């Protein structure tokens, strides 16, 4: 459904369907993308941030986590354009003398890895359970949807906090630095699956009774095959929007947990950890330690949200 | 109808049981209650005796039953960190959280609904576009960042409002404390309420806007226009009224998450509420507090859900028909 457009649907049955690339070029989605300047700017920002995160070890001027290159004597230097600034450190340094610009690039990388993996886990769980619930119906459906209801009892942040506490209770001796990333990914994955499951279940319920599914069933195809090959492609559309918006939510969740001191440790900081470190120096006037990581986080989330908003409108035929 | 109510009640009970099971599992298996109570050099016999006195040598089912029995009587055990009954710790801090949650819900409704209506009716005005942008920023900025920003602006730079605590509180009755009766209490409430309510406000604004736009394009609105009704009457008498049903539902359902999100706001503002207690419990792996908080929040949310569902059934005749058909 997603890539289909009014202009490409009335193709005579004998001709070959247009290639994916041709469909993309011809689509309304691309047209609406090129029409919206804000969306294009957001896309460029997101792209730049992804590149910055992916190549941070090569882009960053210093490695902020190499003790050999970090000196405590460089601590709390203001940004380069302020009095007392050092051109070596564009955005200044934090309390341990780490270059903030480099730390932000590395933090962005950690934030995006955790957010991306968390969303991927959430989508996998949610889509699977939603398909099962919608297609099989009956007991399976009510069981899964009940679990979803229970799950909704806990906002994402609460689940993540609980899981974090529980896991730390279990691995009392284990090194927190090794487990922190996995704990976060699991927490985010388990907190955000419900929305996918509900969306997928809703559209699966509609698709289940359509002729092509009945036909596939009559032919004797096994249920898993019908679900994956026939139903899934027809219900996956709305998930794209949720994926985009959830990436922003996941990044926020990770940052929040790190800010609360139960996420990533200061030795392996994400944007949230950097903000939490900077927050301690807010009252002494060293605003840059919190401001630049905060700004980066805000811009990233805003840009991803703008993309999600645009995608939702572009995919909703009623708003055209 | 009665059957529906009973079924929903039963479902809610099941949910609470599931939550209690999780809480019990945490309580019993994650942090061994005994290890927290004894030091390393406590003799083994004494450890065994404590274990027995807590009933930890009995079958798990019996322990679970006793856990539920205690939970119903609001007995959640003793906090590992404070050595005090969990319920008195939570009860002492509940008024702070509830007051904060109430004020931010009020703020989000009183500001969010008018903004939503305005942006829907005057879609292309610059103010509507500004609201839209602000709402996007509100959704994009994490709660804690908004809090930090507000503190930096109004406490550090301008020095108008306090950056932490509840101000002066007045005791009402046995356990309720309120900051609503003193000037410093009100001052202390402003920043945390805005911080906590901003996200809900943007949510409500966007929801009202979307619902309004949807309703405005329906046939009965067109018909009302055709009948020559005043625009004002159509917008506020017909459109807004129908918009408010989903809005109130969402607002009700959001109440639970406001209280949960208070954890973050309370941390930023060092607000002496349940959320701050819970966070400290997570940091210290103080399982009794975590479990109790989990149960209380779930109870709140399940109750709200139940009430909303029942109200829906009472209000919406279509739903009643499908219930009857089952």
pLDDT-based confidence at residue A121 (cuts at 50, 70, 90): very high
**Which stretches within A55-155 are classed as H helix?**
56-59, 100-136, 138-152
Q: What is the pLDDT of residue B62?
A: 81
Q: State whether residue B151 sits within 8 Å of chain A by CB.
A: yes
Spatial separation of the C-alpha atoms in residues A98 and A90, rounded to whole Å: 12
Q: Measure in Å the smallest separation between the Cα of A171 and chain B Cα atoms.
A: 9
Rounded (5°) CA angle A157-A163-A169: 135
Instruction: Answer whether residue A320 shows pLDDT above 50.
Output: no
| pTM (whole model) above 0.80 | no
Residues of A in contact with B264 (CB under 8 A): 157, 256, 259-260
Q: For residue B193, which of B153, B157, B143, B145 has the smallest C-alpha distance?
A: B143
Contact B282 A287 (CB under 8 A): no
Contact A157 B261 (CB under 8 A): yes
Q: Measure in Å the smallest separation between the Cα of B29 and chain A Cα atoms.
A: 9
Burial of A38 (0-12, 13-18, 19+ CB in 10 A): middle
Q: What is the pLDDT of residue B228?
A: 77
Q: Which of A42, A155, A174, A312 has the highest number of chain B CBs within 10 A, making it the mutation to test binding with B? A: A155
Q: What is the pLDDT of residue B248?
A: 75
Instruction: Answer whether residue A98 shows pLDDT above 80.
Output: no
Q: What is the pLDDT of residue B259?
A: 81
Q: Left if phi > 0, otherwise alpha if psi is -120 to 50, otherwise beta: which for B275?
A: alpha
pLDDT-based confidence at residue A306 (cuts at 50, 70, 90): confident
Q: Which of A142, A153, A248 has the highest number of chain B CBs within 10 A, making it the mutation to test binding with B? A: A153
Average pLDDT of span B295-302: 84
Q: Are A215 and A141 in contact (CB under 8 A)?
A: no
Residues of A in contact with B206 (CB under 8 A): none
Nearest to A158 among B148, B285, B297 (CB): B297
Among A13-17, B273-277, B284-288, the least confident range: A13-17
Instruction: Answer whether residue A120 shows pLDDT above 90.
Output: yes
Q: What is the pLDDT of residue A10?
A: 47
pLDDT-based confidence at residue A25 (cuts at 50, 70, 90): low
Q: State whether residue B13 sits within 8 Å of chain A by CB.
A: no
Average pLDDT of span B191-216: 85
Q: Measure in Å the smallest separation between the Cα of A279 and chain B Cα atoms.
A: 7
pLDDT-based confidence at residue B122 (cuts at 50, 70, 90): confident
Question: DSSP per residue over B177-234, as a string?
Answer: EESTTSHHHHHHHHHHHHHHHHHHHHHHHHHHHHHHHHHHTSHHHHHHHHTT--HHII
Instruction: Answer whether residue B29 shows pLDDT above 60.
Output: yes
Nearest to B285 among A154, A165, A306 (CB): A165
Instruction: Answer whether residue B279 shows pLDDT above 80.
Output: yes
Spatial separation of the C-alpha atoms in residues A153 and A159, rounded to whole Å: 10
C-alpha torsion sign, points B139, B144, B150, B152: negative
Nearest to A169 among B31, B257, B298 (CB): B31
Structure tokens at B160: 């108008």
Nearest to A157 among B26, B264, B305 (CB): B264
Instruction: Answer whether residue A9 shows pLDDT above 50.
Output: no
Question: DSSP per residue over B129-174, as a string?
Answer: HHHHHHHHHHHHS-HHHHHHHHIIIIIIIS--S-SSS--S-EEETT
Q: State whether residue B287 sits within 8 Å of chain A by CB.
A: yes
Q: Which of B217, B255, B269, B282 has the highest number of chain A CBs within 10 A, making it the mutation to test binding with A? A: B282
Average pLDDT of span B11-21: 84
Q: Measure in Å the smallest separation between the Cα of A150 and chain B Cα atoms.
A: 6
Q: Nearest chain A Cα to B303, which residue?
A: A153
Q: State whether residue B18 sits within 8 Å of chain A by CB.
A: yes
**Cβ partners under 8 Å of residue B146, min gap 6:** B138, B194, B195, B198
Q: Measure in Å the smallest separation between the Cα of A221 and chain B Cα atoms.
A: 31
Q: Are B259 and B293 in contact (CB under 8 A)?
A: no
Q: State whether residue B20 sits within 8 Å of chain A by CB.
A: no
Contact B30 A260 (CB under 8 A): no
Instruction: Answer whether residue B293 shows pLDDT above 80.
Output: yes
Contact A256 B140 (CB under 8 A): no
Contact B302 A153 (CB under 8 A): yes
Nearest to B18 among A150, A282, A287 (CB): A150
What percent of chain B stands above pLDDT 70? 89
Angle between helices A288-315 and A37-54 (to 10 degrees): 130
Here the ipTM equals: 0.73
Q: Measure in Å the smallest separation between the Cα of A61 and chain B Cα atoms.
A: 27
Residue entry with tokens 């001709």: A15
Contact B145 A149 (CB under 8 A): no
Q: Measure in Å the smallest separation between the Cα of B172 and chain A Cα atoms.
A: 30
Q: What is the pLDDT of residue A20?
A: 65
- What is the overall mean pLDDT for chain B? 79
Instruction: Answer whether residue B151 shows pLDDT above 80.
Output: yes
Instruction: Answer whether residue B20 shows pLDDT above 80.
Output: yes
Q: What is the pLDDT of residue A8?
A: 45
Instruction: Answer whether residue A14 shows pLDDT above 70.
Output: no
What percent of chain A stands above pLDDT 90? 3
Instruction: Answer whether residue A184 shows pLDDT above 50.
Output: yes
Q: What is the pLDDT of residue B101?
A: 87
Q: Measure in Å the smallest separation between the Cα of A21 and chain B Cα atoms.
A: 32
DSSP lists the bridge partners of residue B171 as B177
Contact B297 A154 (CB under 8 A): yes
Spatial separation of the C-alpha atoms in residues B134 and B131, rounded to whole Å: 5
Q: What is the pLDDT of residue A181?
A: 83
Residues of A contacting chain B (CB within 8 angstroms): 146, 149-150, 152-155, 157-158, 161-162, 164-166, 168-170, 172, 248, 252, 255-256, 259-262, 275, 279, 282-283, 285, 287, 290, 294, 297-298, 301-302, 305-306, 309
Please give the helix or strand (H or E) that residue B176 lies within, else none.
Answer: strand B176-178
Contact A149 B15 (CB under 8 A): yes
Q: Are B53 and B258 in contact (CB under 8 A)?
A: no
Q: What is the pLDDT of residue A256?
A: 86
Q: For residue A183, which of A106, A247, A239, A118 has the smallest C-alpha distance?
A: A118
B48-107 residues touching A, CB cutoff 8 A: none
Nearest to A260 among B18, B264, B301 (CB): B264
Structure tokens at B147: 């809090």
Please tell me which residue, B196 or A287, carries the higher pLDDT value. Answer: B196
Average pLDDT of span A219-240: 81
Q: For residue A163, which of A187, A181, A180 has the smallest C-alpha distance?
A: A187
**Which stretches within A156-264 are classed as H helix?**
156-170, 176-208, 211-219, 223-225, 232-235, 237-259
pLDDT-based confidence at residue B203 (cuts at 50, 70, 90): confident
Average pLDDT of span A237-252: 84
Q: List phi, psi (to 5°) of B85.
A: -60, 135
Q: List phi, psi (to 5°) of B177.
A: -120, 145
Q: What is the pLDDT of residue B34?
A: 67
Instruction: Answer whether residue A3 shows pLDDT above 50.
Output: no
Instruction: Answer whether residue A11 shows pLDDT above 50.
Output: no
Average pLDDT of span A36-53: 84
């Amino acid at each position: 459904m997603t890539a289909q457009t009014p202009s490409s649907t009335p193709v005579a049955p004998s001709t070959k369907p247009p290639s994916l690339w041709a469909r993309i070029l011809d689509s309304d989605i691309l047209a609406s993308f090129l029409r919206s300047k804000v969306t294009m700017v957001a896309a460029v920002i997101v792209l730049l941030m992804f590149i910055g995160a992916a190549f941070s070890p090569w882009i960053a001027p210093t490695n902020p986590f190499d003790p050999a290159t970090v000196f405590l004597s460089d601590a709390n230097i203001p940004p380069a354009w302020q009095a007392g600034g050092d051109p070596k450190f564009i955005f200044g340094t934090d309390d341990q003398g780490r270059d903030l610009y480099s730390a932000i690039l590395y933090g962005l990388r950690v934030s995006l890895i955790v957010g991306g993996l968390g969303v991927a886990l959430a989508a996998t769980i949610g889509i699977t359970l939603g398909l099962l619930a919608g297609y099989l119906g009956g007991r399976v459906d009510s069981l899964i949807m009940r679990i979803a209801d229970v799950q909704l009892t806990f906002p994402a942040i609460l689940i993540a906090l609980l899981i974090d506490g529980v896991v730390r209770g279990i691995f009392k001796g284990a090194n927190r630095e090794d487990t922190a990333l996995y704990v976060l990914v699991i927490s985010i994955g388990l907190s955000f699956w419900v929305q996918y499951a509900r969306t997928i279940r809703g559209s699966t319920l509609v698709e289940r009774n359509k002729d092509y599914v009945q036909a596939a069933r009559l032919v004797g195809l096994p249920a898993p095959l019908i679900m994956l090959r026939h139903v899934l492609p027809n219900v996956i559309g709305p998930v794209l929007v949720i994926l985009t918006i959830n990436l922003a939510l996941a990044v926020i969740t990770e940052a929040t947990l790190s800010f609360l001191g139960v996420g990533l440790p200061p030795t392996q900081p994400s944007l949230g950890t950097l903000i939490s470190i900077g927050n301690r120096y807010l009252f002494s006037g060293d605003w840059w330690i919190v401001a630049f990581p905060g700004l980066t986080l805000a811009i990233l989330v805003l840009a991803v949200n703008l993309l999600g908003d645009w995608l939702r409108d572009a995919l909703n035929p009623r708003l055209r | 109808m009665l059957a529906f109510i009973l079924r929903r009640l039963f479902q809610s009970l099941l949910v609470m049981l599931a939550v209690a099971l999780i809480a019990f599992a945490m309580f019993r298996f994650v942090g061994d209650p005994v290890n927290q109570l004894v030091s390393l050099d406590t003799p083994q016999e004494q450890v065994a005796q404590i274990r027995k006195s807590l009933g930890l040598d009995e079958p798990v089912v019996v322990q679970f039953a006793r856990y539920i029995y205690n939970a119903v009587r609001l007995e959640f055990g003793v906090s590992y960190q404070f050595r005090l009954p969990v319920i008195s710790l939570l009860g002492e801090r509940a008024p702070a959280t509830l007051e904060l949650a109430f004020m931010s819900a009020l703020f989000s409704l009183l500001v969010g609904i008018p903004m939503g209506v305005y942006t829907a009716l005057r879609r292309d005005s610059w103010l509507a576009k500004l609201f839209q942008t602000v709402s996007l920023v509100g959704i994009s900025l994490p709660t804690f960042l908004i809090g930090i920003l507000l503190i930096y602006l109004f406490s550090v730079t301008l020095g108008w409002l306090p950056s932490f605590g509840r101000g002066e509180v007045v005791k009402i009755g046995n356990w309720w404390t309120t900051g609503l009766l003193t000037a410093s209490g009100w001052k202390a409430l402003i920043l945390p309420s805005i911080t906590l309510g901003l996200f809900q406000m943007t949510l409500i604004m966007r929801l009202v806007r979307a619902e309004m736009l949807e309703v405005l394009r329906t046939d009965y609105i067109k018909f009302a226009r055709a009948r020559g009704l005043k625009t004002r009457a159509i917008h506020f008498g017909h459109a807004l009224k129908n918009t408010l049903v989903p809005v109130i539902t969402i607002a009700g359902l959001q109440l639970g998450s406001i209280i949960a999100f208070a954890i973050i706001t309370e941390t930023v503002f060092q607000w002496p509420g349940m959320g701050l207690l819970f966070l400290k419990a997570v940091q210290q792996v103080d399982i009794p507090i975590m479990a109790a908080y989990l149960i209380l929040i779930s109870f709140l949310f399940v109750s709200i859900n139940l009430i909303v569902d029942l109200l829906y059934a009472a209000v919406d005749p279509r739903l009643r028909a499908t219930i009857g058909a089952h």
